[in-house]
Chains A and B, each alone.
Chain A
Amino acid sequence: MSLGDIIDRTSSTWMKADAPSADVVLSSRVRLARNLEGIPFPHQASDADLARVADQVQRVIRAVRGLSDLVVIRLSEAQALDRQILVEKHLISPQHAQGAKHRLVAIRADETISVMVNEEDHIRIQALLPGLQLEDALKLASEVDDMFESKLDYAFDEKLGYIAACPTNTGTGLRASVMVHLPALATTGQVGRVLTAVSNVGIAVRGLYGEGTEATGNLFQLSNQVALGRSEGELVENLAGVTRQVIDQERNVRDRLVRERRDQLEDKVNRAYGLLSHARLITSEEALGLLSDVRLGVESGLLSGVDAMALNELMVITQPAYLQRIMGKELGPQERDVRRAALIRERIRARKEGK
């Protein structure tokens, strides 16, 4: 397994559609921030310090059995396009993709685990699973954390917990998040109300693509705001509890739409399907919006023959960097729109005829 293999494979574990509550929750993520004792945080560290961190982490990966299957990638040696693809696959952050010296990412072959080295903190362990599986993601991240900790001296304060570069992460170093698809709440103008309520109980909300909370494709990310004073289990349980309520609300509105506005809803999802199956030029923004409509159609049983995993895959591979990788060359914006439309037509129809 190499960087090339990871990049070439268009599907990831988090895209699987048979996961719990996958009709609303696309993926669950848990991230743990860890730092090494006595070494300045990456933004303040010297070149030698950063090299030391990268070196120590790599040595642990080689030495510990449960970690040796991680593929280690030096970002300074990866091409800009490949780095961007890792961002589009949610394996590294956009900041990390800038590829400064001594930045690494270590990825498990099934892409459920990625470990960023020398990002904002020395080590950031991320577990990413499909559907609503926060407890499992925590367990997975925590196991990997234990393996690293068996050989590394983490910066830890008996009172404050795990020390992080930014005080907002100090404590558990944990950020748990879910990516949710809320088309019914959004179309009926209720998404603002729900998300405001959610933010009053310590959960932060942001749109997944696009600025601020203006979400393209009706995708939102919910995450815990607080990292200190509650245990990892409590933080994750709080987010899971809130997410379950959001799921209920979304499902209720979907049911009502199907019952009371069936014609309009059928029209909307079929129009979206029609556009995706026939358009010749499509921007990534328009594609995300239409994919959201088609997904709603599939999930509410109004549209058959398109599988949700293909939609998840299309969400990623129609992003600019991935598209260029698939086409094997750099493309201008207009050319990208042509290729994107072609790729969507091919995938959406292949699924339809395959059934």
Chain B
Amino acid sequence: MLCDECGKRPANVHLTKIVNGVKSESHLCDQCARDKGELDLFWEPKFSFPNLLAGLLGHEPGFQAPLAIPGGTQDRCKNCGLDFPDFTKTGFLGCPDCYEEFRPRLEPLLKRIHGSTRHTGKVPRRTGGAAGVRREIESLRAELARLVAREQYEEAAKVRDRIRALEKGLADQA
């Protein structure tokens, strides 16, 4: 078998990659594998989170991100001073506010890591804000559906009124 990349030398590196459940196979010669950086994975401990992160953000390790992004996106967090390229090197944000500052670039990344960008779990009481109310509405809706299915209409009406009151509260805030 010849190398997929150069088509000249015999393929002696056989790679099977599974990315997000999609399997791909490639057959490369030593040299092309090294050029593509595929062999680093096995030979050197280069397979670190920051490198992975850089890959996910769409650029190669060592790539210099442009200092200013068209459209005026900030490159430095106003609160802690971390700049985005620092993040891609270490894999750590600087402070909670960084998530706000870099949101347009972080959300696609979070989507790739977790497959989602919408938290559906626990909400803290003090700082949860409207999220707590929305979560309560969701669970009341489920409750409402259950009551209707069991034809307990009187109870259901109470729950419906509670949902309306909460929704009104949210709308007034906004």
- CB within 8 Å of B: which residues of A? 35-41, 43-44, 120, 142, 145, 149-150, 152-163, 165-168, 170-172, 174, 200, 226-232
Contact = CB atoms under 8 A, between A and B. Distances in A.
5 contacts: A39-B95, A156-B127, A162-B122, A167-B113, A226-B113
B118 interface: yes
B121 interface: yes
Contact of B109 (A40, A167, A200): A167
Contacts of A172: 119, 121-122
B55 to A, nearest CB: 14
A167 B127 contact: no
A337 B19 CA distance: 44
A158 B82 contact: no
Given A38-B97, A167-B110, A229-B116, A149 B121 contact: no
Leading 7 A-B pairs by shortest Cβ distance: A229-B116, A161-B119, A155-B96, A228-B114, A40-B95, A158-B131, A44-B94
B126 A157 contact: no
Interface string B123-143: 111111111000000000000
**Residue of A44, A149, A167, A168 most packed against chain B (CB within 10 A):** A167
Interface string B86-119: 0000111111110110000010011001111111
A41 B79 CA distance: 12
A283 to B, nearest CB: 25
A38 B79 contact: yes
What does DSSP make chain B's interface, helix, strand, loop or mixed?
A: loop
B101 to A, nearest CB: 12
A226 B115 contact: yes
B2 interface: no
B6 interface: no
B134 to A, nearest CB: 8
B126 A149 contact: yes
B82 to A, nearest CB: 6
Contacts of B115: 226, 229
Contact of A153 (B21, B97, B113, B127): B127
Given A37-B127, A149-B125, A226 B95 contact: no
B95 A174 contact: no
